[in-house]
Structure 1
Amino acid sequence: MDNSSNSIVMIERAFDILKYIFEHEKHVGVSQISRDLELPKANAYRILSTLHQVGAVEKYDDEKYSLGRLLVQLGNKARKNFDLNQIASPVLSKLSAEVGESVNLGIKYGDNILNMLGYEGESSTLVSKLVPISPLYCSSMGKLYLAHMADPQLEAYFTTLDATIETIHTKKTLKDFLALREGILKENIAYDLEEYEYGLACIAAPIFNSKDNIIAAISISGPYSRLKYKGMDTLKAKISSASKVLTEMTKYLE
């Protein structure tokens, strides 16, 4: 069904104006809004006057406008109605469907990664054996958190590390991790290539807040041979794109 017949044009234009003001750091005037949005100046003025009356925009002596306090109140209320899982769910579901592999959302919990949300891909006994908590040093999501640690914190972590999970590929010393750190920070991508379990591979990307601090990570997991067949560069591009979308969606939550 086409819902366009149910729309109210002036309300749509009002939101166009609000989004336009939001995208500009400086206060903007009626003429500029009218010109850039191809909206008759009289219409723009009436909409702005109404928005000002209800507190959605602030008007200044120079006849220019900025977003108003009402939107702050509405935004704070809206933030409380969302959590990271709700926001991430459709993005992760889509990513899992695209790549055909298991996709997870994880956060740092002590010295571990706690999986908060997951979508299953093609069947795999390797992935099905994974537990919801994994150490930072041998998980792709954990490496992202380690890469963003301050040097003293990172050194303390490896100094006290008691590696309980190990394969011949596991990186469990500070020296080994420092060899990877620059690449992780440069690409915002980390890998677990048979470091947690033989035959299993994971690729992860971070989610940042408005202060560029990592608040979560997402990963793609599957048999290493199958991921290589699908193309690690292709998977990297897809998970990078998803992480950027989630960063943009969540950076105003805190």
Structure 2
Amino acid sequence: MSITDKSSQTVKSADRVLDIFELFGEVEARELSLMDITRQLELPASSVFKILQNLVHRGYLDKDENGKTFRLGYKIFQIGAKYAQQTNLTTEFQYIAGQIVSEVNEAVYLAIRSDRNILYIAEKQSTHHVRFISHLGMKLPLHTTAMGKLFLSAMTDDDVVQLYREQELGLLTDHTISDLKKLVGQLQEIRQAGVAYSEGEAVQGIRCVAAPIYNANQELIAAMSISIPTNRWKEDTWSQMTELVVQGAKKLTSIQYYQAT
């Protein structure tokens, strides 16, 4: 085989990998089988199978327990989170979050939705030794976090029920909401209040308050939260944190609006 032939083969393999990623981005289904992919891309099953196994091994795809269906993996979202760091949203977040930390010295986070999870894309930490430490690209289930509940509250109750139709609400702590009816009821309260709370539901001993961030079309695109360990929790501090996160989220929403006009 000539050098030209080898080069062509390498590019062809890369194209197939990219075709697979683009297919996941185009179809409505979150999971695809080997046959789904080979049929829609008109590729040989043997070649696609080897590519899928490599992508699973590298974390770019996940497969179900039976190894029959595949979906996008955590590595894709980590890369997306790093890209998001370069956007104006995360740049402005750092400035606003810095002001909040200087006032209350508690950690501030920014997250977007990733399927049934939130994906942390930015943070500003406090100087306390005892604190909740996230990392960029970390994912937590929507129903366990204040920011995640905001994304669920933007959906209709029927859509929320449909989202969890085939999956139970997983437990991360003793305080995690495990009853779908209770979750739906809490989402109704969040829609009225405009803010969401979590009390040790994702991380034991950590309370969070979150507010929504919208784009110019009034679509929920991100959420901002402040976290505090329960041993530092005070009612007056909690009220101050709620006001700060709401105002911070409104500032970020305003920035999205003016950038679009």
Question: TM-score normalized by structure 1?
Answer: 0.62
1:179 lines up with 2:181 in the alignment: no
Q: 1:82 to 1:158 in 2, by over 3 A?
A: closer
Per the alignment, residue 103 of structure 1 pairs with 108
Note if contact 1:158-1:172 (Cα within 8 Å) is conserved in structure 2.
Answer: no
| Candidates 151, 156, 159, aligned match of 1:145 | 151
In structure 2, distance between residues paired with 1:127 and 1:137: 18
In structure 2, distance between residues paired with 1:108 and 1:232: 25
In structure 1, distance between residues paired with 2:165 and 2:115: 16
Per the alignment, residue 121 of structure 2 pairs with 116
| Candidates 123, 128, 133, aligned match of 1:128 | 133
Q: 1:158 to 1:82 in 2, by over 3 A?
A: closer
Q: 1:98 to 1:161 in 2, by over 3 A?
A: farther
Per the alignment, residue 214 of structure 1 pairs with 220
Q: Return the offset for 1:165.
A: 3.3
Count of aligned positions:
174
In structure 1, distance between residues paired with 2:87 and 2:141: 28
| Candidates 215, 223, 248, aligned match of 1:242 | 248
Q: 1:154 to 1:121 in 2, by over 3 A?
A: same
1:232 lines up with 2:259 in the alignment: no
| Candidates 71, 84, 88, aligned match of 2:89 | 84
In structure 2, distance between residues paired with 1:92 and 1:158: 33
Q: Return the offset for 1:246.
A: 0.9
Per the alignment, residue 68 of structure 1 pairs with none
- Secondary structure, in 3 states, of the residue corresponding to 1:105? strand
Q: Return the offset for 1:226.
A: 1.1
1:198 lines up with 2:230 in the alignment: no
In structure 1, distance between residues paired with 2:212 and 2:202: 19
Q: 1:181 to 1:236 in 2, by over 3 A?
A: same
Q: 1:151 to 1:247 in 2, by over 3 A?
A: same
Letter in 1 for 2:167: L
Q: Return the offset for 1:159.
A: 2.2
Q: 1:170 to 1:123 in 2, by over 3 A?
A: same
Question: TM-score normalized by structure 2?
Answer: 0.61
- Secondary structure, in 3 states, of the residue corresponding to 1:128? coil
Letter in 2 for 1:173: D
Q: Which has the larger radius of gyration?
A: 1
In structure 1, distance between residues paired with 2:180 and 2:254: 32
Per the alignment, residue 64 of structure 2 pairs with none
Identity among equivalent pairs (%) = 28
Note if contact 2:120-2:134 (Cα within 8 Å) is conserved in structure 1.
Answer: no
In structure 1, distance between residues paired with 2:116 and 2:142: 6
Q: Return the offset for 1:158.
A: 2.6
Q: Return the offset for 1:204.
A: 0.5
Q: Which residues of 2 match residues 19-30 of structure 1 at below 5 A?
A: none
Note if contact 1:138-1:171 (Cα within 8 Å) is conserved in structure 2.
Answer: yes
